[in-house]
Structure 1
């Protein structure tokens, strides 16, 4: 049951392979008068085994591919995290470098100021020595004009000497602080640079793991495509053999019926329309589903070859898992969420595959299959093997939600629902029954 065509269904369509497989067994789309060779049981069994092995291989590698893609996605997330960590460490290292540069500049400035202070003190000492005293103002004291001037000059000279000493002490302290700041900044820079290098290594490792995981997923994807092609070829071989057997059986039955009808013409008998209907449609009592009243179908007689081929193709998929959005003209495929990791069919995918083997494109969704064949409608009372039956929640075709294939005897083949497999079911008529079409007409 699908509302939209699964994009995966466009990937493996190959009409040339279908026609080639049909020609191998001697049948082709629309060749109802062909006389195919009836394959042996061992040929069909061998083809069935080959198909099953190919399907198992596709299922196995699909699981591996899903796991590899999940690993690649996880690796990508880890690489993104590593990238963010690296960028944080890189920003921290850049800031540490800027702080270190500023500390070095401050230390250099402190050194220069300390040097200037030291020079001033050295000049003071030198001039005192050259003047014959450690106090360059001693001469000025001797030349003072009064005791009060002497005291004033002595106080000024003492303050000047003390000021030089205090400034030098302060510059020495600032120089030590600047050197400490420079040392701390250099340590922080070293730590930040180390962390940046470690983050860079982690990033490179994460990116390498992602690259490896992606490469593995790509390899499995290519292998999956090859195995899917092998499965398609095996399915085409199988449906061709089954279709050939069914057509041969029908032609033999028709020949036997024609031979039996020759002597019957010499004996007058009553005729009626019931002779044209299968016995299974008129008997069965309470166990026979009640068909809706005729509405006047527009479909002609079915192509026995096309219908038989479609039925054989659908039968060949009995037991295949239901997969939401799965299946296309080439066979079962991965579905869509929540069945994106499950290979199988949904209801319309099974119909698309079955009729594609007869060379008939019915469409990819149940609604499209009704719309594309709406000019070939048949009444429930006139159902023939190969007709497609539809169910809907309302009276409009936009409400169609399920499709199945009538195979005769009040039975149909369908891909029922999630958690189930392709199977043969009893025909269901009821309030949800929408109608039927005959693609082979």
Structure 2
């Protein structure tokens, strides 16, 4: 889902409208100025009042742009904060959902134990009933005195005395066992009820957290959409103001250039007329040496080589500047520091294999991309922690399913900015607690990360960034 608040998402959009407007203005200016000498009619020179009004409009536009820039910065900060909050809320939900799943498993186990305890209790009660019935039939439940007095002789007397002693002991054991079974059944039933109640509570809490996270995500996307629409509106307004200003300035520049051309043409015509009037008539006085007059082609002292020929300047500008095809930085980083065939290389390769896949809120995991959580139930892809979890799962390392869990699992292997190596996990958060972490990316070396950035974006390679909400980095270990 997540660079510092007001930066990770914002820095990609804040200057786009300005660059586009500047480019559009430059094109408009060039188009309005045109090519000298191609117009078929003299351009109209705007009045001083029109120029003054345009200058005032320019000043007003500058003021308006300043106000809008501040508004956009505030809106971008709010949108970024909402996006970070939604990702934090999503992790709250995912953790609560995991707790619910565990509680549900405990409840199922407790319910099975309760069923078994109830069955054991039923069997114990049946055993007691059987013992009582057999004792009654055999007469062992009669009083000891009657049983002994009814004996037919010494041998039977001894036999009955031994039987009564045994029956008494057995009766005590059966009753004691039944008591234990009843206690066990009661305890198992209470444990099952408590486990189910806890699971139900966690489920309710998870549903509440999910609803809150979804509301925050929808709100953050709404803010981002509104911001984009405002940027378009501002851009159109600025372009219109600039085009109007450039049009007036261009018209005046064209008119002034036309006037200069006309003045230069008139001056050239007047000079030619004066030169013609000053020239001696043909067949004039013979007293003058013909050698003293310059040839009709002009002064012989001037070499034709001394006059620049039209088009003699190189069209591409001075050659002293060197070729423009010199080597430029190729861009992109390397994965230096990650040994070939290592788990790091495997993880990076796995993340790279998903480039271009859509961002899906709550989507993806160790087994690969998946559909996300509403509002992304129709988007097959990854969120930030889903991508990193998948990358390291392919390398055989379990790192957890949320960004805060991934931090916690390897918080004993934190890495300083200056020591970052390919394969490190880098995190961003809104505060100092790990619970404020809202974004994770995989560092691939060369000042670059591979990440699933945000809604509407795709898995991509980006330049590493820091700033106020950079939380830190850890180095996963198998």
TM-score by length of 2: 0.48
How far has the Cα of 1:253 moved from its partner? 4.0
Equivalent residue for 1:300? 311
Alignment partners' CA distance in 1, 2:118 and 2:192: 12
Write out per-residue CA displacement over residues 14-33 of structure 1, whole angstroms, 9 at most, x where no aligned residue: 79x949974xxxx7434257
- Given candidates 56, 60, 67, the residue that maps to 1:60 is 67
- Given candidates 154, 162, 187, the residue that maps to 1:177 is 187
1:77-92 matches, cutoff 5 A: 77-92=84-99
Is residue 42 of structure 2 the alignment partner of residue 102 of structure 1? no
Equivalent residue for 2:231? 221
1:141-156 matches, cutoff 5 A: 142=151, 145=155, 149-150=159-160, 152-156=162-166
Is residue 250 of structure 2 the alignment partner of residue 240 of structure 1? yes
**Are the structure 2 counterparts of residues 253 and 227 from structure 1 closer, same or farther at C-alpha, using a change threshold of 3 Å?**
same
Write out per-residue CA displacement over residues 103-133 of structure 1, whole angstroms, 9 at most, x where no aligned residue: 2222222122212212322333344446665
Alignment partners' CA distance in 1, 2:114 and 2:108: 10
Alignment partners' CA distance in 2, 1:196 and 1:136: 65
Equivalent residue for 2:118? 111
Task: Give RMSD over aligned pairs.
Answer: 4.5
Alignment partners' CA distance in 2, 1:300 and 1:202: 72
Is residue 40 of structure 2 the alignment partner of residue 31 of structure 1? no
Equivalent residue for 1:368? none
Equivalent residue for 1:168? 178
How far has the Cα of 1:175 moved from its partner? 1.7
1:385-400 matches, cutoff 5 A: 397=324
Equivalenced residues, count: 284
Alignment partners' CA distance in 2, 1:211 and 1:120: 68
8 Å Cα contact 1:93-1:193 kept in structure 2: yes
Write out per-residue CA displacement over residues 166-207 of structure 1, whole angstroms, 9 at most, x where no aligned residue: 211221221232133124313422431232133123213312
Alignment partners' CA distance in 1, 2:16 and 2:137: 102
Equivalent residue for 1:51? 58
8 Å Cα contact 1:103-1:182 kept in structure 2: yes
1:41-440 matches, cutoff 5 A: 41-129=48-136, 134=141, 142=151, 145=155, 149-150=159-160, 152-255=162-265, 257-258=267-268, 261=271, 265=275, 300=311, 375-377=315-317, 397=324
How far has the Cα of 1:299 moved from its partner? 7.8
**Are the structure 2 counterparts of residues 158 and 90 from structure 1 closer, same or farther at C-alpha, using a change threshold of 3 Å?**
same
8 Å Cα contact 1:21-1:236 kept in structure 2: no
Alignment partners' CA distance in 2, 1:397 and 1:19: 26
**Are the structure 2 counterparts of residues 205 and 57 from structure 1 closer, same or farther at C-alpha, using a change threshold of 3 Å?**
same
TM-score by length of 1: 0.52
How far has the Cα of 1:60 moved from its partner? 3.4
Instruction: Show structure 1 runs of 5+ residues with no match.
Output: 1-5, 273-295, 303-373, 380-389, 402-441
How far has the Cα of 1:98 moved from its partner? 2.1
